């Protein structure tokens, strides 16, 4: 999440009660997790295993729970006993929950010739382009951005919080979401689909992409242009699906991987590793489809082979 303007360090210290060490003149432009962090961002680390990775990241301001590390040149460390809690305080301060008292928020922007059917909810600061059709019982959470000529079928939910928690002392602490959902032009989203907003960045659906019914897209995932996503697909967070990808029905795609441009994933597959561009994958775990079919054929013939070998 980027701040509207650069934030003074004094305000961050007021919110977190953290002790500054390092470059106190650093420019504070936003707040982000490690996987999307940029120069000017605040991020956090609270486990020695990840200290080095965070200190070497692009983050300019790092909430950390130790002084026993060297502050890299140009960066600022903010020392606090609980970096996660301090980070959440910043999120809640700059992206607080904003109640809405009407089904279509007065702050929403709706383009020309766009039709919104009965029983929809359109939240605060939502932007919907021209010539869209939003069918009944769709919920669009705050700040979602939708392009032109988009069709969203009944029962969809856009912009719900990320399913993202930190386990601490046997309890789960919610990682508050401050990212967004961005839908480009000419997208069609089937009935009963859910697209979660990013934790600290945007979940993105590229122009011309089409969803069948019952598709789940996790936080911070980016789906490219002109993709087809079949029914009952689940796409985990922080995944990149490049342009012109075909994903058929009942496919599960794990987090933090890339499906290359023009790839095809056949139905009922479980994708646990990145898929090369142009490849066709199948199976659980998914692999090159031709190889997978040969493996299945060999498995089918295994009893007869064992009989011939007296095994």
Q: Is residue 261 part of a domain?
A: yes
pLDDT tens sequence across 183-203:
999 999 999 999 999 999 999
Task: Tokens for 279, please give them.
Answer: 């490849």
Q: pLDDT tier at 94 (50, 70, 90 boundaries)? A: very high
Identify whether residues 219 and 127 lie together within a single domain.
yes
Tally of structural domains, the chain = 2
Burial class (CB in 10 A: 0-12, 13-18, 19+), 143: buried
Asked which of 62, 94, 126 is the last residue of a domain, the reply is: 94
Q: What are the tens digits of pLDDT across the range 139-179?
A: 999 999 999 999 999 999 999 999 999 998 899 999 999 99
- pLDDT range class, residue 39, cuts 50, 70, 90: very high
Q: What is the pLDDT of residue 295?
A: 86
Query: pLDDT tens digit string along 192-232?
Result: 999 999 999 999 999 999 999 999 999 999 999 999 999 99
Same domain membership, residue 81 and residue 203 = no
Q: Could you tell me if residue 61 is inside a domain?
A: yes
Query: What percent of the chain shows pLDDT beyond 90?
Result: 91
Let me know if 200 is exposed, middle or buried by CB neighbors in 10 A (0-12, 13-18, 19+): buried
Q: Annotated active-site positions, please?
A: 219
CATH of the domain at 60: 3.40.1390.10
In-domain check, residue 223: yes
Q: Is residue 296 part of a domain?
A: no
In a domain, 302, yes or no: no
Same-domain check for residues 144 and 267: yes
Residue span of the structural domain in which 286 resides:
109-290
Residue 300 burial class via C-beta count within 10 angstroms: exposed 0-12, middle 13-18, buried 19 and up = exposed
Tokens matching residue 176: 């508050």
Q: Based on the fold, state whether residues 270 and 178 are members of the same structural domain.
A: yes
pLDDT (0 to 100) of residue 310 = 77
């Amino acid at each position: 999440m980027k701040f509207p303007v650069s934030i003074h360090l004094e305000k961050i210290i007021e919110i977190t009660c953290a002790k500054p060490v390092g470059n106190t003149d650093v420019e504070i432009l936003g707040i982000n997790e490690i996987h999307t962090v940029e120069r000017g961002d605040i991020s956090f680390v609270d486990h020695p295993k990840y200290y080095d990775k965070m200190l070497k990241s692009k983050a300019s301001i790092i909430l950390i729970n130790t002084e026993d590390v060297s502050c890299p040149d140009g960066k600022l460390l903010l020392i606090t006993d609980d970096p996660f809690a301090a980070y959440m305080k910043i999120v809640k301060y700059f992206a607080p929950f904003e109640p809405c008292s009407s089904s279509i928020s007065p702050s929403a922007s709706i383009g020309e010739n766009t039709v919104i059917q009965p029983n929809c909810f359109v939240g605060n600061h939502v932007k919907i382009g021209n010539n869209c059709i939003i069918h009944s019982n769709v919920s669009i959470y705050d700040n979602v951005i939708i392009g032109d000529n988009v069709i969203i079928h009944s029962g969809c939910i856009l912009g719900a919080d990320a399913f993202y928690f930190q386990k601490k002392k046997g309890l789960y602490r919610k990682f508050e979401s401050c990212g967004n959902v961005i839908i480009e032009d000419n997208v069609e989203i089937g009935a009963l689909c859910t697209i979660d907003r990013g934790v600290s960045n945007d979940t993105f659906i590229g122009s011309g992409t089409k969803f069948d019914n019952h598709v789940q897209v996790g936080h911070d995932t980016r789906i490219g242009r002109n993709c087809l996503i079949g029914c009952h697909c689940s796409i985990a967070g922080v995944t990149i699906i490049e342009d012109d990808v075909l994903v058929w029905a009942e496919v599960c795609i794990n987090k933090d991987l890339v499906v290359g441009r023009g790839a095809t994933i056949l139905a009922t597959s479980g994708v646990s590793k990145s898929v090369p561009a142009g490849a066709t994958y199948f199976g659980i775990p998914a692999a090159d489809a031709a190889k997978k079919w040969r493996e299945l054929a060999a498995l089918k013939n295994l009893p007869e082979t064992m009989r011939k070998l007296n095994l």
